[in-house]
Structure 1
């Protein structure tokens, strides 16, 4: 029986769905960026960005932090849009950089339009727009979303070149590859998975067959045939961009060396470093996670599996160039997901690039079901209805995890029951900061603050970065007498023994992160000094009645007002002790 004729989506319907995807993505990404408290990683990156902004020099730390890519992108965006001094920045300012990267990921889907087909491209964009994982981390000031954007851009450029594009596509793809290295060192896993996918596609299907012309042409047409060494058009710009980023414009070559020696640290950290998870952690995160509510991207994963099957067993006689790419994308996704699953070190955002390629394959699977499997218009209509129900469930999850519904009962943006929340700052910390600010406003003199926690109380150093009289101690110091004291439960008893009895009011509990409870101690106002009692008149001026002795002062009074202790000793400096970044 000959295969059914493939059904295509009209251009008008395609454009409507593209604009719908852009509208949904904007709705879930831009609103309420300041509602969620800063994660520790966000706060540390924000402080480092402020140092970079003020000094113009990025100090690369190969043991704890990542490359300068996100900071350079943020610096460029901040200069273009007129950011003020770092003290004036808000959480929304920083997170907007991640939002723009997330919107860029959505737009790069169009680079694969002829590989996915119109219907597949539209579905992939819709799923990317409302994917809970994509939405949540598009509002997170960490490196991951920029890395996903650069990975998608480089793959799209190489695909466009394979389909008749000019060498400029290789140049752009190489620059994106180099900036991946400058953004996050784990890009090597994506490169390794891409080589595995390319080798598998070559052996299973053959070369990517270029079309006669490219619908996405950049620059003049290339000469007939391929350049003898196309990899040079990728490797050279990648190396130049990476070195330029790490060396602060070819000025600090030590950072370039450290960008390679850091992989020795990564080999040690791959064993877990406190982030150990079982091999199936990412599969549970993607398919099914239930904690009061069901969190699942099973719709995307299920359609992606269908897309992988279609990539191998589908009919591509009329479009032979598509199959090698789809096979490559399938193997690349499996290799990347498998590589991350093998490593003991796991954080939920690490899998974003694999989740993005799953979303592209989900578009392929949806297109195969809609155009080749569904027999007739009615069945295609039912399929579309079922797909819309699945997208609605993704929208519902995205609404809950952004906290923008207006109903606190549906706000899971910093709730531990949200599977994408990982060692996150709890919202009660915002309440504690509000109480501290109210206390400070009531005081006439300058207020001194001590924060006594194991990890310097991050993200408090970000929130209190403009306050000069804040000290951060990781052990209980000898002197504990600030106006405001913040101590976690581990140090509470020791702190209490060093404070005068009944000198502070206690406010608790406030959650810093799961398992870390803070107590707020506010010094009570000093009672006003008693007014002095007038000295008695001289004895010779007193006329005692009936020769009685002169009256004595009331018992307990003094002839002079008491003097109180001098000012507090100098607080330790506000040197921030950052946590190792996951």
Structure 2
């Protein structure tokens, strides 16, 4: 491979491509955030966020929920964006938090500009803006996008420090590291992969220090010499931020201890816990996934492999730069291998490795561009690369819910590999049906949801209604205005009600394999209108008296007492009973009914 030139793009061209990347990211991330139904995890986190808002305290559960960082960032953003009371929050409000994290992630790429080169940095930003995986989870209210942003910021700060930055970069990197711990426990896998990458890079290449001053600098350069024990400048801020986050401002010390005990629970869950996948699951997500439809980010995976090869065999004037690129290559591979070995697999878990691959893909694209012989071949190469990015854009458009062709809309489609156990779009029709029936009587209409997992995400959508109960089995008393039941309990429910009193609406998909039916109580028949007596007739002439009847008089008939008709068989006269304490729900949240 030919040596890569130091300057690949003019500054103006570089800035234009950066703006184009930000424009692409905006178009795929900000539009139609409310169109996709809430995933169960999003709904639970939304309810948890509302609880934190109302109580001013985040209750940490070491068995689930992860750390408080996403909620703390969301509360900060809610103040800046003026969300108002939790009863007014929308899906778009929540998802805007992760959208902003995703946009910040694009900008953090600039911290690596002298490592990737101008061309490589611009291409990495374009790939990040159009990657279907990045686009889909940027619009997903879960911890992953915040975690990836903090990981990228940590690596970028350490890289900037190694290239002559002040110890303030170490402090900022340490803060980001501590907030990773407060975001999600799986950050420990990234730390382990980073340690392995650092050891390999130091052994094969040497120090990360540059031989000469960097051509790209952010922030003031530090003076000659290194601070004593630089790791303290990382560890102390990391511990401080983590403890402050978990303890709710140094008020809840139990949560601090639980944040370390939680790893005992995660060791148990690593065996699968119902999310078992084959070892190559994540590799297929990146390179080739076919489930009726074909999904592929092979452009990113292929360029990343080229970038890894270039990191090891390329001709570098700056050994510190090569050390970092070797580190990034080993880090990404070890991280992918670590997640692949674990039986427990969810598609969003690999997002941080995908981000590292995108950086390496930018490096690989720059290496190929520099190796092209002549301006004409570079133009041909740019066109082919642009077509590849256009293919990523087309896939991403189908994940946003805004595709002009409804047949190509896959934001909640089971064939979308990123929509993992996702709420079906037909649930939105169920919500519309019930909303129309309830109207403005949400405080008086009674609703019972009978489902093994309480019908999540329904508790989020109906959080403002007063009389909603959730049962994980069929109760004895079924007399609600609205009964929502999944297929597992359908026959039992029909046997306990008078079906003639309800209209039935179905099917609605909750998740793949879970079908809901809705029973709506019929309006009572109107009361009979009392008969109006006829108007009094004018007096008739007095008739001639008839001869007296001498036969015995017949007794007058007795008046029959008015007896109300019996109630229809199966109808319950008592109001519906609601569980005093609801069953444990996914994630451990137990929403209480407001009766």
What's the secondary structure of 1:405's corresponding residue?
A: coil
Whole-Å Cα distance in 2 between the matches of residues 31 and 453 of structure 1? 33
Q: Does 2:582 align with 1:571?
A: no
Farther-moved stretch of structure 1 (270-279 vs 517-526): 517-526
Contact 2:163 2:209 in 1 (8 A): yes
Q: Does 2:581 align with 1:580?
A: no
Instruction: Check 1:26–1:530 CA distance in 2 against 1; reply closer, same or farther (3 A cut).
Output: same
Unaligned runs of 5+ in 1: 536-542
1:440-468 C-alpha deviation (Å, 9 max, x unpaired): 12879921000000001100000000001
Residue in 2 aligned with 1:283?
283
Q: Does 2:31 align with 1:41?
A: no
Residue in 1 aligned with 2:213?
212
Contact 2:174 2:234 in 1 (8 A): yes
Farther-moved stretch of structure 1 (224-233 vs 139-148): 224-233
Q: Does 2:368 align with 1:361?
A: no
1:64-99 C-alpha deviation (Å, 9 max, x unpaired): 210000000000111122221100000000000000
Q: Measure how far apart 1:580 and its partner are.
A: 3.4
Whole-Å Cα distance in 2 between the matches of residues 225 and 352 of structure 1? 37
Pairs within 5 Å for 1:263-412 = 263-316=263-316, 318-371=317-370, 373-412=371-410
Pairs within 5 Å for 1:83-162 = 83-162=83-162
Whole-Å Cα distance in 2 between the matches of residues 200 and 139 of structure 1? 36
Whole-Å Cα distance in 2 between the matches of residues 348 and 568 of structure 1? 44
Instruction: Check 1:550–1:336 CA distance in 2 against 1; reply closer, same or farther (3 A cut).
Output: farther
Residue in 2 aligned with 1:415?
413
Q: Measure how far apart 1:528 and its partner are.
A: 2.9
Residue in 1 aligned with 2:181?
181
Whole-Å Cα distance in 2 between the matches of residues 442 and 111 of structure 1? 53
What's the secondary structure of 1:49's corresponding residue?
A: helix
Unaligned runs of 5+ in 2: 534-544, 590-595
Contact 1:529 1:562 in 2 (8 A): no
1:556-580 C-alpha deviation (Å, 9 max, x unpaired): x974766977562453358473203
Whole-Å Cα distance in 2 between the matches of residues 213 and 314 of structure 1? 18
What's the secondary structure of 2:182's corresponding residue?
A: helix
Contact 1:168 1:218 in 2 (8 A): no
Contact 1:532 1:560 in 2 (8 A): no
Residue in 2 aligned with 1:539?
none
Whole-Å Cα distance in 1 between the matches of residues 4 and 24 of structure 2? 34
Q: Measure how far apart 1:120 and its partner are.
A: 0.2
Farther-moved stretch of structure 1 (173-182 vs 5-14): 5-14
Contact 1:532 1:558 in 2 (8 A): no
1:270-296 C-alpha deviation (Å, 9 max, x unpaired): 000000000000011110012232210
Instruction: Check 1:86–1:574 CA distance in 2 against 1; reply closer, same or farther (3 A cut).
Output: farther
Q: Measure how far apart 1:222 and its partner are.
A: 3.1
Give TM-score, length-normalised by structure 1: 0.93
Contact 2:194 2:331 in 1 (8 A): yes
1:82-120 C-alpha deviation (Å, 9 max, x unpaired): 221100000000000000000111111000000000000
Contact 1:41 1:581 in 2 (8 A): no
Residue in 2 aligned with 1:252?
252
Q: Measure how far apart 1:209 and its partner are.
A: 2.1
4+ residue stretches of structure 1 with deviation over 4 A?
1-7, 442-445, 531-535, 543-554, 560-567, 573-576
Contact 1:165 1:214 in 2 (8 A): no
Q: Measure how far apart 1:402 and its partner are.
A: 0.8
Larger Rg: 2
Residue in 2 aligned with 1:76?
76
Whole-Å Cα distance in 2 between the matches of residues 5 and 75 of structure 1? 46
Whole-Å Cα distance in 1 between the matches of residues 28 and 518 of structure 2? 35
Residue in 1 aligned with 2:29?
29
